[in-house]
Structure 1
Amino acid sequence: MRILHTSDWHLGQSFYGKSRAPEHRAFLNWLLEQIPLQQIDAVIVAGDIFDTSAPPSYARELYNHFVVNMQQYHCQLFVLGGNHDSVAMLSESQELLACIGTQVVPSVQTDISKQVFALYDADGQIGAVLGAVPYLRPRELITSEAGEDGSRKQRKLGEAIKAHYEAIFAAARALTDAPVPVILTGHLTTVGASSSESVRDIYIGTLDAFNAHAFPQADYIALGHIHRAQKVAKSEHIRYSGSPICLSFDELSSPKQVLIAEFDPHGLTQVTELAVPTFQPLVSLNGDLETIATQIDAIPLPDNGTVWLSVTVESQEYLSDLQSRVQALVEGRPFEVLQLKRLRQQSQMMTATAQETLSELSVEDVFARRVALAQFDSPAEQLRLERMKQMYQAVVAQVQQQDETPRQQEAVEHDGERSL
């Protein structure tokens, strides 16, 4: 059997005011093409189909068209709810889509058998079984008790997640007498996973991350939520597929892919990383204005459309016209600056030498070094800085005055004692 594992589509995302609809449409069309080319028997989408719980109509349309177009390939489709997805919205069409071979699991089901499915190979035989686990909400697994501290809640939730996975795994094993591989899914953070700035810190209630060693001994575990594709706990069979398009500029260093897991009757035989084409070029630039100008000249021109840029300017100078200067560098070219940041150089950062201690610094020194970490580029920000300085000086003066009062009182009492 050949299973295609993908996740974190985030249909409907607005990216610095830009729609990702053309990219998502191109990706879904490409994904459909891979099903016959790669001889895929089933597709697993491990959560976050949509970017918000109330996605725009075009995002729903893309999703619906993909589900319908899947039917021509007689390929099973499994859709798991993620933390961004609306349980109510995914549930609306759950029964209807089941009639055309698409199984949707929006949330934990009361009847655990509704989270367990048989996967059929090209000959119509059961080639594997799937334990479909969506994003887990604490209220679906545990009830809070009065007087519980944070550590107790965390431990209780971790135990509940482990118990849920074990129950799903047992139900999957019991689905058939044939010794076939067992596949599990999940939409959560695991210990050691490397995230990006576009990943919201959902975790699960008070649980920072689930220990991957607590997963049952499944043949393959298809995970979602983390946008960087990666193995978990150095295990070939526990994988995040990652998002198919870059959802933030800091994901540019992470290759975008879907995963193809191959199985024989004895278990997992191979995992292939299938690269997703780039449908919208994104480039991140960093340096002073001269360096950035050189970097812009080196960007390959797209065949059509525009290249979206993130520009970080490193400068210690106050540049009131920074935006217009950067805009002039891309004028007349198919480039668009979506993100512009200014970064002060390390020399202005609040650092201390090995010989310097806090006791050697005055309160004015500490304040000045902290201010140097912030950016006050615009005239309005400069006025704000002046107000902050005045307020700080007033607070210091007040504290010093309060500190002097007890000393003066003590001196008066001491002089009185001497006179007596």
Structure 2
Amino acid sequence: MRLLHTSDWHLGQHFMGQSRQAEHQALIDWLLQQVQIHQVDAVLIAGDVFDTGAPASYARELYNQLIARLHQAGVALLILGGNHDSVSVLDESRDLLRHLGTQVIASTGAPQQHAVTLALRGSGQPGCIVCALPFIRARDVQQSQAGQSAQDKQQALQTAIQNTYQQVYAAAQVLQQELQATLGRKLPIIATGHLTTVGASSNESVREIYVGSLEAFPTNAFPPADYIALGHIHQPQKVGGFDHIRYSGSPIALGFDEARQTKQVLLVDLNENGLQAIESLPVPVFQTLAAVRCSLKDLPETLKTIATSANPERASWLDVTIIEDDYLADLPARVQALADGLPVQVLRIKRQRGTAAAQLQSEAMESLDELTPQDVFARRLALETLEPPLQQALTERYQSVVESLSHTENISGGAA
């Protein structure tokens, strides 16, 4: 069984006013080529297939295109919901997509529902069993109790998630025995997850998902699966020194802090003896991002260097931080003048000692209908100088209010 493990595509992301549609289209084209070249049996996306709960129409079109093209190639697809994904959006076409060889697991349910098989290419016979767990919301696995301290809540959530994994793994073992009696061979078991684990290296474009409840899930709480395919952390990495517990990372850079990362997808080979090999496939850079930090004097040479080494088909997107000369009132105009005529696009200009919000090009300004309520709140919060715990508490409270309003609207809509 050869599995391609990827995650955190964030289809529909607007990056400082710029669409990622062309990059994601190029990514799909590239992925289909790799599937054919390496004879992949199944593709697994471990959460955050969309960037928001209400993805744009072109993002849904890309999603459907990926599913249709993999079906035409005879390749199974398993999609897990992430913290950015809407359960209702993923579920709306779940039954239809099953007929196209795609399984969608958007939320947490009965253990047996999460023990699924992925088919071998060509024969259609089961090739592996997956403990297919998406992003686990606290309300799906536990009930809050009065009088609990923050530490009690964190421990209770960790225990609840661990129990969920153990129950699904037990269901997978039962299925493994049943299929072994039928097929005459033992199928490997893999597990999935969309969460932060102990020891994982994060970055600024990752939204913390267990704020105030669970900071990181310990690796020893995972079941003894042959391979554990994780999503949520955008930087590819092994976890806790274990070769079989992996974050594939996002396939494109989702923030300037990811620009220097080598993005990848993982080819995972398994058989009845378990995990056999893991190979990293580097993803080409479809859009150059660069974070520049220099004086105004040194900026022209820096811009020329970037322009020379970048993709000639697309202007490089820049995040410019000016040092030494950051007191100048007309700094944005000076930076833009230096960039004019070069294949670069300055998306953000920052002063080293300044605390002002990012300066965007006028043509790159976003309208409110391009932003989610969470995006607006996050950008407004970024203007404040608050301690991280207070920022986290405010974010959690705001999310709770938004969810309650959404729930009220759904009830009102149903009554109407």
Same fold flag (TM > 0.5):
yes
The equivalent of 2:152 in structure 1 is 152
3-state SS of paired residue (1:312): strand
* 1:245 aligns to 2:252 (yes or no): yes
Q: How does 1:356-395 map to 2 (within 5 A)?
A: none
Letter in 2 for 1:222: A
Amino acid of the structure 2 residue aligned with 1:120: A
2:369 alignment counterpart: none
Determine the C-alpha separation between the residues in 1 that align with 2:143 and 2:242: 33
Deviates most, 300-309 or 318-327: 300-309
Aligned pairs (5 A) from 1:4-403 = 4-109=4-109, 111-122=110-121, 123-177=123-177, 178=180, 179-203=186-210, 206-299=213-306, 300=308, 302-315=311-324, 318-344=327-353
The 8 Å contact of residues 259 and 288 in structure 2, kept in 1 or not, is answered as no
User: The residue matched to 2:171 in structure 1 has which SS?
Assistant: helix
Cα separation, 2, equivalents of 1:293 and 1:93: 51
Report the count of equivalent residues.
349
CA 1:204/1:222 → structure 2, altered by over 3 Å: closer, same or farther?
A: farther
Q: Which moved more, 1:142-151 or 1:308-317?
A: 308-317
Contact 2:150 2:212 in 1 (8 A): no
Gap change, CA 1:250 and 1:41, over 3 Å in 2: same
Give the SS at the match of 1:223.
Answer: strand
* TM-fit CA distance, 1:377: 13
Mapped to 2, the partners of 1:253 and 1:279 lie a distance apart of: 13
Q: TM-score under structure 1 normalisation? A: 0.80
Would the alpha carbon gap of residues 82 and 317 (structure 1) be closer, same or farther in structure 2, given more than 3 Å must change? closer
User: 8 Å contact 1:137–1:205 — kept in the other structure?
Assistant: no
Q: Say whether the 8 Å CA contact 1:137–1:204 is kept in structure 2.
A: no
Identity across aligned pairs (percent)?
49
C-alpha deviation, 1:197, in angstroms = 0.9
Distance 1:205 1:31, change over 3 A: farther
CA contact (8 A) 1:116 1:129 kept: yes
Task: Tell me if the contact between 1:319 and 1:377 (Cα under 8 Å) persists in the aligned partners.
Answer: no
Q: 2:69 and 2:86 mapped to 1: Cα distance?
A: 23
Task: Kindly state the Cα deviation for residue 296 of structure 1 after the two structures are TM-superposed.
Answer: 1.0
Write out per-residue CA displacement over residues 373-414 of structure 1, whole angstroms, 9 at most, x where no aligned residue.
Answer: 857999xxxxxxxxxxxxxxxxxxxxxxxxxxxxxxxxxxxx
Q: Give TM-score scaled by structure 2 length.
A: 0.81
CA change 1:308–1:377 in 2 (3 A) is closer
Contact 1:302 1:334 in 2 (8 A): no
Q: Cα offset for 1:219?
A: 0.6
Residue 126 of structure 1 deviates from its aligned partner by: 2.9
Alpha-carbon displacement from aligned partner over 1:321-373 (angstroms, at most 9, x marks no partner)? 111111121111111101111114xxxxxxxxxxxxxxxxxxxxxxxxxxxx8
State the alpha-carbon separation in 2 of the partners of residues 152 and 126 from structure 1.
Answer: 41
C-alpha spacing 1:295/1:79, structure 2 compared with 1 (3 Å): same
Q: Does structure 2 conserve the Cα–Cα contact (< 8 Å) formed by 1:46 and 1:185?
A: yes
**Conserved? CA contact 2:9–2:250, under 8 Å:** yes
- Please give the alpha-carbon distance, in whole angstroms, between the structure 1 residues aligned to 2:258 and 2:45: 20
Q: Is the 8 A contact 2:304 2:342 kept in 1?
A: no
Whole-Å Cα distance in 2 between the matches of residues 81 and 63 of structure 1?
A: 13
**Contact preservation (8 Å) 2:252, 2:263:** yes
What SS does structure 2 have at the residue aligned with 1:103? Answer: strand
Give unpaired runs (5+ residues) of structure 2. 181-185, 360-416
Contact 2:349–2:358 at 8 Å: present in 1 too?
A: no
Point out where structure 1 has 5 or more consecutive residues left out of the alignment: 345-372, 379-420
Q: Which has the larger radius of gyration?
A: 1
SS of corresponding position for 2:298: helix
Q: Are the equivalent residues in 2 in contact too, given 1:257–1:273 (CA < 8 A)?
A: yes
How far is the alpha carbon of 1:317 from its aligned partner? 5.4
- Matches of 1:154 and 1:335 in 2, distance apart? 46
| Corresponding letter in the other structure for 2:321 | T
Greater mean alpha carbon deviation, residues 286-295 or residues 229-238:
286-295
